[in-house]
Structure 1
Amino acid sequence: MKKVLIINLLLLVAASGEAQIATVGSPHFDVQGPLYVRQNYHTLNKASNGWVAWGIRDISTSEATISLSNINNAFFQGNVGIGTSSSLAKLHVANSSISLTSTNSSDANLIIQGTSSTRSTSEGAALGFVVPADIDGSNFWQQGRILVTPENTNNANASGRMYLQTRYHGNGAWNWRKNLVLNSSGSVGVGTENTGTHKLAVEGTIGAREIKVEATGWSDFVFENDYELRTLEEVEEHIAKKGHLPEIPNKAEVTENGINLGEMNAKLLQKIEELTLYLIEQNKEIQELQKEVSALKNE
């Protein structure tokens, strides 16, 4: 026997603690307050609008699952709280704290899943940020996103890679920049995911007011009494044969391997200190020569 669809759902109002009855039927599914499904299974169906809603509850608990299907868009007015009745934003998800050392595959307060029939290192799950594309506040476009993809293709061993991206227009097309890339190895790439053996790799130049390099050694050993300072003749011979100063890498080595900033500064200081010793020695010799010249003049 067909009956007009009217299902009574019991609503628990947290403020008053009293039970209220809400009627759900054509043409709206309109519920005010927290929804609590008393029965094990309720079905709401409005075929003309093409939507189905249901609630399922485990009779041993007071928790219920509310699902909507065949709906392209669902509208919730006001704040929505998941795990909390005191939502502080349009979507407020509250759950137990997640441990920094937790390795469970689903330990998270909010999960965003990107579904696919295969696993690709160029596809993943994204959290997008949309702002107006036009100055009048219209034409909304996704301007930034956080995208997480697998970093490898090994089965059931999906190491992760996280991208912080912004959208830009260039060469007649829209593209996403690799502004910041976090690799599973612990390395960070700025403008690139190829960090090599470096913890931080930057595709481009770096501008800074100050850079501090924590060196493990310095070049003051040049001033120690047992330091063997090359003669200028030995330095001249080395330059003639190899085309660069001793202890300093040549052009080919720098081109292939680059330079270690702290190490190179120490080597340059070593050469400055050696040059200082040469000047001190030459100054002594000049003074001696001046004394001899003065003595010859007096004679």
Structure 2
Amino acid sequence: MEHEITVAPGVRLWAEERGDPRAPALLLVMGANASGLTWPEALLDALARRHRVVRYDHRDTGRSTWSFDEDPYPLTALAADAVRVLDALGIDRAHMVGMSLGGTLTQLLLLDHPERVATATLVGTTPLDGGPADGPGIAPELLALWETMLEPRDRDAELAWRVRHWRVLNGGESPFDAEEFRRREERIMAHAGRHENPAAHARADQGGLDRAGELAAVTTPVLVVDSPADPVAGTASARHLATLLGNARLVTVPGLGHALPEAIAPRLAEVILDHTTTPGGG
């Protein structure tokens, strides 16, 4: 079932839910500049066997309103959007799974709206303090690619750029199926009705994110997924994040990078469901 949800004046978000509407709700919060269709279908189907699963497009992605150039917003607005999605769907409390920036937003929700979060799962997520000072940092190849993010490209060139981007994000420990990600990005372009990437979230104000000192007070059960091949937020970042949180455990998914191929879906679904369906969140 699809929905169109108003979250602010002139701003509407596309959302979709699947699974038993009577089951415990689970909200998927995707990363920066990424449509909700970025989540692997196999992962959604596996989670929907136990949950009412909701995914949505952030502002300036997919079928949601694209308005950043006319009306810029801070990244913290995306956390408020997640709460408004729950409100619109009549969900008082949900398990939340955040990927990358989605995990950053989920950290904010743990601090500001703990009553809305049953459990949290953080995947490929940088801590609110940016990560350990002695960590490896973001891979240079990825930083070089990001420097070209805002360059104008036609549809074919944009598609090729996105597939190359996913190849780098995948890391070097698991096979990369370029055709799988090409097909996924073609679906995302068709879903959005456009191919441009405004990189709105890369340009948005990051004020209000430096709140790592508050994470120790979090009592909500949190699962931090260690993605050892991740060129953005690898093992050092995951371990650091787990130590900052007041009620967290760490699970490693071997071979996982910062991309979510269909092949990783069964193992990722297993660790998420173990967390969301175990009393006390594991």
Q: TM-score range by the shorter chain?
A: under 0.3
Which structure has more strand as a fraction of its residues?
1
User: What TM-score comes out, normalization by structure 2 length?
Assistant: 0.19
Structure possessing the higher relative contact order (Cα contacts under 8 Å, 6 or more residues apart): 2
Which structure has more helix as a fraction of its residues?
2
User: What TM-score comes out, normalization by structure 1 length?
Assistant: 0.18
